[in-house]
């Protein structure tokens, strides 16, 4: 079974340019997360979707970041315009959350490493 697929793996852009990341979760997983991870830090939650609904986007810097999960399957995360401080690894994860139970097992993609020059 295919895991969480993310693209691109690496992206180098100049500041003020736009960038977009794509994520395809594991089939059947209704919950999708976008995390940002800086070197030496743990992943920081940006946004969480349950199906197509963003149930928690309180950590998403909405002035420059946007995300969507059309049809409740794959998702895109966009930054426009990018700033130097946005250089990080953007991780997508998926899980199945239902029936009041949370197994806590997130399946992560390999991440998209962004460098802003």
Partner 1 sequence: RKEVEQDPGPFNVPEGATVAFNCTYSNSASQSFFWYRQDCRKEPKLLMSVYSSGNEDGRFTAQLNRASQYISLLIRDSKLSDSATYLCVVDVGNTGKLIFGQGTTLQVKP
Binding stretches for partner 1 (CB under 8 A): 31, 33, 35, 40-45, 48, 50, 55-56, 91, 97, 102-106, 108-111
Which CB, 35 or 65, lies closer to partner 1?
35
Q: How far is the CB of 101 from partner 1 (least distance, A)?
A: 9
Percentages helix, strand, coil for the chain, rounded to the nearest 5? 5, 50, 45
Which CB, 74 or 110, lies closer to partner 1?
110
- The total of other beta-carbon atoms located within 10 Å of residue 15's CB is 13
Which CB, 14 or 56, lies closer to partner 1?
56
Q: How far is the CB of 93 from partner 1 (least distance, A)?
A: 8
**Backbone φ and ψ of 87, nearest 5°:** -60, 120
CB–CB of 4/23 below 8 Å?
A: yes
Q: How far is the CB of 24 from partner 1 (least distance, A)?
A: 15
DSSP string, 75-88: EEEEESS--GGG-E
């Amino acid at each position: 079974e295919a895991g969480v697929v993310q693209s691109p793996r690496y992206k180098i852009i100049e500041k003020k340019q736009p960038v977009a990341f794509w994520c395809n979760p594991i089939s059947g997983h209704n919950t999708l997360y976008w995390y940002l991870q800086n070197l030496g830090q743990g992943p920081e939650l940006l946004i969480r979707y349950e199906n197509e609904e963003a149930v928690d986007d309180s950590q998403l810097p909405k002035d420059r970041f946007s995300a969507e999960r059309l049809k409740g399957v794959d998702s895109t995360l966009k930054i426009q315009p990018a700033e130097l401080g946005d250089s990080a690894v953007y991780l997508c994860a998926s899980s199945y959350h239902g029936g009041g139970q949370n197994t806590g097992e997130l399946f992560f993609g390999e991440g998209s490493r962004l460098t802003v020059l």
